[in-house]
A and B are shown apart, each in its own frame.
Chain A
Amino acid sequence: MVRNSSLPITIRQVTKSYGKNYALDHVDLDIRSGEFLTLLGPSGSGKTTLLTVMAGFTRPDGGSLKFGDTEMVCVPPHKREVGMVFQNYALFPHMTVAANVGFPLKLRGVSSSDIAQRVEAALETVRLGGYGARGVEQLSGGQRQRVALARAIVFEPRIMLMDEPLSALDKQLREHMQIELRQLHDKLGMTTVYVTHDQREALTMSDRIAVINAGRIMQLDVPRTIYEKPSNRFVAEFIGESTFLPVVALQGRVTLGGRALMTAKPTPADGKHLLMLRPERLRILGSTETDVEAVNILEATLLTVVYQGDSSLIQVELPGAGVISVRSQSNALSNHGLTTPGSTVRLGLNVQDTVLLDVQ
């Protein structure tokens, strides 16, 4: 199957409210042609509502939705020509695998010999060749997922929508399917909008991620920037683990509990800010590492150590600032002779990881 085109999606001021609550609050979003964009957010954030607006199941109160240059808001779902994979797959239980996959082709009046051929090709694309005659109940969760995928790509839509398609699978299969889905996207090249609440999934699969909360897009960027340079506290908290400590900026000097701090961003504005600390970005320093370049050194008191196999999670207290978590290799502490609670630990934090956020 070779794809010839994909379409960009343009969303302008799309709003949907239920009573007084905004499910979507004047959302603007440009999805590029052929990209894999993930809508990431907690449940009730509006990410699924935005997807159903694109699919045509939810009519927004206002705003504009364009596929390419065509306005779609008033187009009913069955005329939108978008593929969709549902959370529960929604495979028709009264039809075989082949009849499910052939369903969109049958509706489009494709001849039955062409249908058989294209169905088999689509099933082979999702590596289920020869499964056509089976009933839906005979398939495992992962196989159903693939059939749903085959059904969504068989009519060659230029836009693909996916609503948490992997949430029903177990962890191992999910991680496997993430890579497979991404490869399929690269092969077919249609614009893909993917909804998930799983941050790791979003980071793994996406070209860009739109983090959504309370019906608004909090940040739209590539995965690396979303993780390393979150633009606000919500994004920093939702993606990855982090601790926040209050810092004060005054004429370009940033202080944490009285100690000076080198920061990544261009000089922050005067006033209070929050320092975002990722547990894995803090490093335990040896006694010899006293003055490393471009590293902030924080002295802290060891509280507890939790052994987690591949790593240890360490709780330390920064005097006058608060308790923070540090993730380190399981043997890092004992290598430095630090095992007893109460001992002093020196932590290194690279300047580019010293990210300040606005207080909200």
Chain B
Amino acid sequence: MGLVAPAFLLIFVTMLLPVGWLFYLSILSDTGAYSLEHYQRMWEQPSYGRTFLATFQVSALTTAICILLGYPLAYFLSELPKRAANLCMIAVLLPLWTSLLVRTYAWLVLLQRRGLINGWGIELGLWDEPLALVHNMTGTLIGTVHVMLPFLVLPLYSAMRAIDRSYLRAAANLGASPLRSFWLVFFPLAMPGLASGALIVFVLCLGFYVTPAVLGGGKVTMVSSRIANDIEIFFNWGAASALGVVLLVLTVVLILGATRMIQMNGVLGRQGKP
């Protein structure tokens, strides 16, 4: 017991204490009395519902787009020789080593009305009017997908890399066309990597602030923006904490649900009957 005490202390100080503090703040009214007014307001004002809906919408769409882009990328990387794959992996990870703010404003430069992409598009005659690529959902998604993609590709790539290629040879030998051996063998074996990557992306998106705030331009209000507003503009720590608590609870419920589903899938995937 004595040996785990430091670990326990660390977890207590860095995790339980702040969360407890957050919860405590959320049940204090502006006057300092205990009250559930912040939660009540959230329940009564429809704008909060819209904010949570938008948050989950952005997260779900970002996750979906990341899967669409990341799956082929991870597959391609896993098929490369080790050295080439490592080089490509550096390219995938490079954005992570650059400041988030710099990347986000770089997208702003590229996407705005008089930005690089609209400039070229019009000059080349691809479209006549500047497209609304930023300060809306499109811009938000472009930015979040760019930031989140490595978090999906990393676990997916390592799961794919770990799949013994002799399974695919065996499938082919037993009569499976390349497409069927992909769906019946490769895809299920890569599933844990895909699931954990998707979960990481989704959860990170739920609390994402900088990129949606800059590229969404106020049109896409995420929970994080609202928390920021509550603190910066209204100095209302109680309301901000209540938002944080609700987001935390929803996220935990979601993760538990997802894990349960993946485990169920694992059981169902191992069909009793062929």
B170's nearest neighbour on chain A, judged by CB, is A90
Q: How far in angstroms is the closest Cβ of chain A from B263?
A: 13
Chain B residue nearest in CB terms to A57: B169
Contact with A along B260-273 (1 / 0, CB 8 A): 00000010011111
Contact A94 B188 (CB under 8 A): yes
User: Which chain A residues border B171 with CB–CB below 8 Å?
Assistant: 78, 92, 103
A41: Cβ under 8 A from any B Cβ? no
Chain B residues within an 8 Å CB radius of A106: 274
Q: A322-334 vs B: 1/0 string, CB under 8 Å?
A: 0000000000000
Minimum CB–CB distance for A357 against chain B, Å:
39
Known: A57-B169, A86-B170, A107-B180. A95 touches B175 (CB 8 A): no
1/0 per residue, CB under 8 A from A, across B138-182: the answer is: 000000000000000000000000001011011111111110110
Are B175 and A115 closer than 8 Å at their CB atoms? no
Cα–Cα distance between A77 and B171 once the two chains are bound (Å): 9
B189 part of interface (Cβ distance < 8 Å): yes
Contact between chains at A90 and B271 (CB < 8 Å): no
B248 part of interface (Cβ distance < 8 Å): no
Write out the residue numbers on chain B whose beta carbons fall within 8 Å of the beta carbon of A78: 171-178, 181
Counting CB contacts under 8 A, is A239 at the interface?
Answer: no
Contact yes or no, A102 B274, CB < 8 A: yes
Chain A contacts for B166, CB-based, 8 A: 86, 88, 90
B54 proximal to A (CB < 8 A): no
> Is B117's CB within 8 Å of the partner chain A?
no
Q: Is the CB of B274 within 8 A of A105?
A: yes
Contacts of A77 in B (CB 8 A): 169, 172-173
Interface centre among A56, A86, A94 (most CB of B within 10 A): A94
Residues of B within 8 A of A101 (CB): 274
Q: Counting CB contacts under 8 A, is A99 at the interface?
A: yes
Give Cα A78 to B180, complex, Å. 10
The verdict on A84 contacting chain B, using a C-beta distance below 8 Å, is yes
Residues in chain B near residue A81, CB distance under 8 A: 175
Residues of B within 8 A of A84 (CB): 170, 173
Secondary structure of the B contact surface, majority rule: helix
List chain B residues, Cβ under 8 A from A102. 274
Kindly identify which residue among B167, B174, B177 contacts A104, using a CB–CB cutoff of 8 Å.
Answer: B174
- B-side contacts of A155, CB under 8 Å: 174-175
Q: Is B185 interfacial (CB 8 A cutoff)?
A: yes
Contacts of B176 in A (CB 8 A): 78, 103, 107
**C-beta contact mask, A78-99 vs B, less than 8 Å → 1, else 0?**
1111111010101111111011
Compute how far the CA of A88 lies from the CA of B164 in the bound complex, rounded to whole angstroms.
Answer: 10
Residue A108, interface by CB 8 Å: yes
Choose one: B174, B266, B269, B270; the contact of A107 (CB below 8 Å). B174
A119-B174 contact given A90-B169, A94-B269, CB 8 Å threshold: no
Q: In the complex, which residues of chain B have a beta carbon less than 8 angstroms from the beta carbon of A115? A: 274
Assess whether A133 is interfacial by the CB under 8 Å rule.
yes
Counting residue pairs across A and B whose Cβ atoms lie within 8 Å, the total is 90
Contacts of A94 in B (CB 8 A): 188-189, 266, 269-270
Contact A95 B169 (CB under 8 A): no
Within 95-127 of B, Cβ neighbours of A (below 8 Å) are at none
Q: Which residue, of B176, B177, B266, B274, has the highest number of chain A Cβ atoms within 10 A?
A: B274
For residue A88, which residues in chain B have a CB less than 8 angstroms away from its CB?
A: 164, 166
**Chain A window 47-80, contacts with chain B (Cβ cutoff 8 Å), 1 for yes, 0 for no:** 0000000011100000000000000000011111
Selected contact of B270 from candidates A82, A91, A95, A105, CB within 8 Å = A95
Q: How far is the CB of A294 from chain B (nearest CB, A)?
A: 52
**A112 pairs with B174, CB closer than 8 A:** no
Contact B169 A103 (CB under 8 A): no
A116 and B273 alpha carbons, distance in the complex (Å): 8
CB distance from B265 to the nearest CB of A (A): 10
Provide the bound-state CA to CA distance between A201 and B65, in Å: 54
Contact partners of A257 in chain B: CB under 8 A: none
- From B169, B271, B273, give the contact of A86 (CB < 8 A): B169
Q: Which residues from A are CB-within-8-Å of B188?
A: 94
Chain B CB within 8 A of A151 CB: yes
> Nearest Cβ in chain B — how far from A75, in angstroms?
12
Mask of B237-274 contacts with A, CB within 8 angstroms, 1/0: 00000000000000000000000000000100111111
Contact assessment for B175 and A119 in the assembled complex, using a CB-CB cutoff below 8 Å: no
Complex formed: what's the CA distance from A112 to B173 in Å? 21
Q: Closest B residue to A52 by CB, please name it.
A: B169
A135 proximal to B (CB < 8 A): yes
Quote the shortest CB–CB distance from B88 to chain A (angstroms): 24
Closest to B266 in A: A94
Chain A residues positioned under 8 Å from B270 (CB to CB): 94-96, 99, 135
Closest 3 pairs between A and B when the two form their complex, measured CB to CB: A102-B274, A90-B170, A104-B174
A-B contacts besides A95-B269, A95-B274, 7 pairs, CB < 8 Å: A78-B181, A90-B170, A92-B170, A103-B184, A107-B175, A107-B176, A119-B274
A→B interface (CB under 8 Å): 55-57, 76-84, 86, 88, 90-96, 98-99, 101-108, 112, 115-116, 119, 133, 135, 151, 155
21 contacts between A and B (CB under 8 A): A55-B169, A55-B173, A78-B171, A78-B173, A82-B173, A84-B170, A84-B173, A86-B166, A86-B169, A86-B170, A90-B167, A92-B167, A92-B185, A94-B270, A98-B274, A99-B271, A103-B174, A104-B174, A107-B174, A107-B175, A107-B176
